[in-house]
Structure 1
Amino acid sequence: MEQKEDSEVAAAEGAIKIGVLQSLTGDLGSYGGPMSDAIKLAAKEINANGGLLGKQVVLLVEDDQTNNVAAVDAVNKLVKVDRVAAIVGATGSGQSMSVIDIITKSGVLQISSSNTGTDFTNYPDDDLYFRTASSDSLQGAAMAKLAQTRGYKTASTIVINNPYGVGFEDVFIQAFEADSGRVLEKIRYDPSQTVFDSEVEKIAASNPEFIMMVSYPETGSLILRTAYQKGILKSIPWLLSEGLQADNLASLVGNDTSGNYIAAGLEGLAPDLAAGGAAYDAFREKYLAEYGREPGIYCSNSYDALAVVALAIEQGKNATGRSISDNIPLVANPPGEEVSDLGEALRLIREGQDINYQGTSGDIAFDENGDVSGSFIIWTVAENGSIVQGEKVAV
């Protein structure tokens, strides 16, 4: 009860304060900045359309450094000092798992735009945790499906040892082996690790038909570079998770003696950026106009995360965690008038109309666990180092 009153105080101080917890530095630093920019874009649009409950939205941005200790420190500040109504984040599943109890037990709502770890689905969060990115229970199965369509019968895995890597790996192995596949070697590496010679040698010694890697750009690029140096990157096919779909992956991995990108030709699986259709196209144009660059992976999900929080605040006429939680399904799920423009959605709510917000990232109708569905595509590192979106993968 005391924390709920604190959240109400925050809303009464002249602004609606929303915390943003993202990895602006560290292993996920390639993602946190662009995702934060998408959240800021949504806030700008909200404020241009009257704010929330007649007040302006103020974002309080914290960098968790892709580090659990830093995430805890940042959340304690946001919850106990800043008294935010909700927190958008964290970028990584590991950081979110380290702070979810602090946030939700304080009566504050948490919504992540990029947590895909499987543990969140049934986590005892008192219905105060949501996410606009689909779970790896879908993505891991899609990776197994992709491997099967390639005709692979054996695999070895190397994954980051955190809720993201372990959850993805578990789902992948279950789905792959259910269709007569065999996993020959499983390696889980420490997120703080910087040398991977023994891991790469061990996974190569298992002689799989392909290697499935779940990782982040900084540590993942070190693994890929080590594999190249040992002659393994080109001799064995690799399939990478979306955690490696960073614009700077090729430059992080480096160049060969001829100056070519070592990572060129590598493939991976990721959520389909175009799943939002016309809504995504409109978001992309706004993002380009604001920042002069293309939005990356999970940017549209980040925009949607703040959007549904804002719409829930306006719908419930209250900026507390419990009220936001109760009202998110009312603005994001059927029935209601389908609307993708954030300003239009706010106007309809103020007129007393029911809405069904259509996400820029695709279908964001939440189930009873705060999860959403998803669709996936193959991505490839082009010769010039850019990321190219490819064909869809059925789940």
Structure 2
Amino acid sequence: MMKNHTLNRRHFLGASSLLLGSTALPSFVWAQGEPIKIGTLTPLTGSGGPYGPVMANTVKAVVDEVNAAGGVLGRKIEVISEDDQTNPEAGVRAARKLIDVDAVSAIVGTWASSVTTAVAPLCWESKTFLATVSGADSITELPHQGYLVRTQPNTTLQGRKFGEFAAAEGAKRVFFVSPQTPYAESQFQNITKAVEAAGGETSSLIYDDKKPSYRSEVDEVMRFEPDAIIFGGYTPDTTVMLKELYRAGYQGKKIAFAYAVNEKLVDSVPAEVVEGCYTIAPSSNESSTAYQRLVKLIGVDSPDPYTVQVYDQINLIIMAMAAAGDSSGTAIKDAIRKVSQAADGTKVDNAVDGLKLIAEGKPVNYEGASGPCDFTDKGDISDSSFRYEQVRDGKLTLIKIA
């Protein structure tokens, strides 16, 4: 069963509230020179609101640790946190501030694929490095010139995992429901490939996630007589869809992204609405020393995958600066793989230890809390494990990690 982390998370958020109450630390000149500026662009509000604050605070915690050890390149690091509101327009406004006003070298933590898609051109045009947890295949197909990496598995891999799981559970008629997102089409295509390979068939429906009711959409789903439904939306619309399907008498399997069917959703709806629902998410490397360091650093017993990923992102960016001897976005771009996957590098699980080795002229190979963090030329991670859970007796319960 998942470890309970609500109490510690609230404590962590409360203790770190000063970070999110101000967009920037006080402006001053360090003895070693002006601070290096790094921006977080996370969803502090909107659909991604349950994740963004902890993500931003985690970046600050890592930077505090590095600054306490002397900083990087003889300079301290300053974190500037902005809210993308899980909205592309708000994300663009916040990114423009980070790039044009604050002059950050890197932006970490964009969550929604729509936000990342909107923000990415601003980053590569300004030579600002961008690290994201978004999954849409289209993101790394953008002409980002190397100024982008993601630690989240792309939707090709995720869709295949969803389809394979549904088929393994015996589903022969699988229906995919989703709002219009950058990854919806790719997700459905890869679900279909996996289900058809197992002898099943699929159908799909794209809905308006702003509607208060989905009765007509649910009628269409039910006409297909599915034995499994895969939900591609976020928490608010998935909540409504689950309620409507329960009222319609749906008895088949329910499979959703873990970021949609989370503790908040489970606690907010009648138990019978969500009981038995499966969730799937990229799995953190919980047996790694990096993961254990993260848990201790932020005081959260079981951090969500996005928090784990931004922990890896900020550690990698800091070490890339050191390896390049330069804090610019271009320097990070050119050095990120030198610290993430150097075949002859000493394995490290945090930037403080990595900086010491780099200062000695030794190569490093970062082994992260989310996994190895090895990137393809396009900026995708090479592989990932997935975490499968099910709502049982009103609680999300771990089934397997595979």
Distance 2:212 2:246 in 1: 16
1:57-96 counterparts in 2 under 5 A? 57-96=77-116
Instruction: Quote the offset at 1:159 in angstroms.
Output: 1.4
1:282 aligned partner: 293
C-alpha separation in 1, matches of 2:210 and 2:319: 39
Task: Specify the alignment match of 1:176 in structure 2.
Answer: 195
The counterpart of 1:342, out of the listed 331, 345, 351, is 351
Which of 264, 267, 286 is the matching residue for 1:248?
264
Is contact 1:159-1:189 (8 Å) kept? yes
Q: Distance in 2 between matches of 1:245 and 1:309?
A: 31
* TM superposition shift of 1:190: 3.0
Which residue does 1:7 correspond to in 2?
A: none
The percent identity for this pair of structures is: 27
> Structure 1 residue 139 and structure 2 residue 139: aligned?
no
C-alpha contact (below 8 Å) 2:171/2:227 kept by paired residues: yes
Deviation string 1:226-245 (CA, Å, 9 cap, x unpaired) is 2223322xx12111123324
State the Cα deviation string for residues 61-92 of structure 1 (Å, max 9, x = none). Answer: 11111111101111111111111101003111
**2:212 counterpart of 1:194:** yes
Letter in 2 for 1:358: E
- Indicate the larger mover: 139-148 or 375-384: 375-384
Instruction: Give per-residue Cα distances to partners, 1:39-61, cap 9 Å, x unaligned.
Output: 22222222122112121111111
The residue type paired with residue 303 of structure 1 is Y
Residue 105 of structure 1 aligns to a residue whose secondary structure is: helix
Distance in 1, Cα, partners of 2:61 & 2:142:
30
Q: Does 1:296 align with 2:315?
A: no
State the one-letter code of the partner of 2:75.
K
Which residue is 2:9 aligned to? none
Residue in 2 aligned with 1:53?
73
> SS at the partner of 2:191?
helix
CA distance in structure 2 between the partners assigned to 1:173 and 1:276 by the alignment: 33
> How many residues are aligned here?
371
Secondary structure at the aligned position of 1:305 is classed as helix
Helix, strand or coil: the match of 1:262? helix
Structure 1 stretches (4+) deviating beyond 4 angstroms? 10-13
Q: 1:275 offset after TM fit, Å?
A: 5.2
User: What SS does structure 2 have at the residue aligned with 1:298?
Assistant: helix
Q: Give 1:39's aligned residue.
A: 59
Unaligned runs of 5+ in 1: 1-9
Question: What is the CA-CA distance between 1:276 and the residue it aligns to?
Answer: 5.4
**Partner residue of 2:170 out of 151, 168, 177:** 151
1:192 is paired with a residue whose SS is coil
Counterparts of residues 1-395 of structure 1 (less than 5 Å): 14-112=34-132, 114-183=133-202, 185-232=203-250, 235-252=251-268, 254-255=269-270, 260=271, 262-274=273-285, 277-288=288-299, 294-335=302-343, 336-372=345-381, 373-385=383-395, 387-393=396-402
Most deviating of 322-331 and 119-128: 119-128
Per-residue CA shift, 1:309-338, capped at 9, x if unaligned? Answer: 111011111111111000000000032111
RMSD, matched Cα: 2.0
Q: CA deviation at 1:147?
A: 1.5
Measured after TM superposition, the shift of residue 213 of structure 1 is: 0.9
Conserved? CA contact 1:157–1:186, under 8 Å: yes
> What's the offset of the Cα at 1:170?
2.4
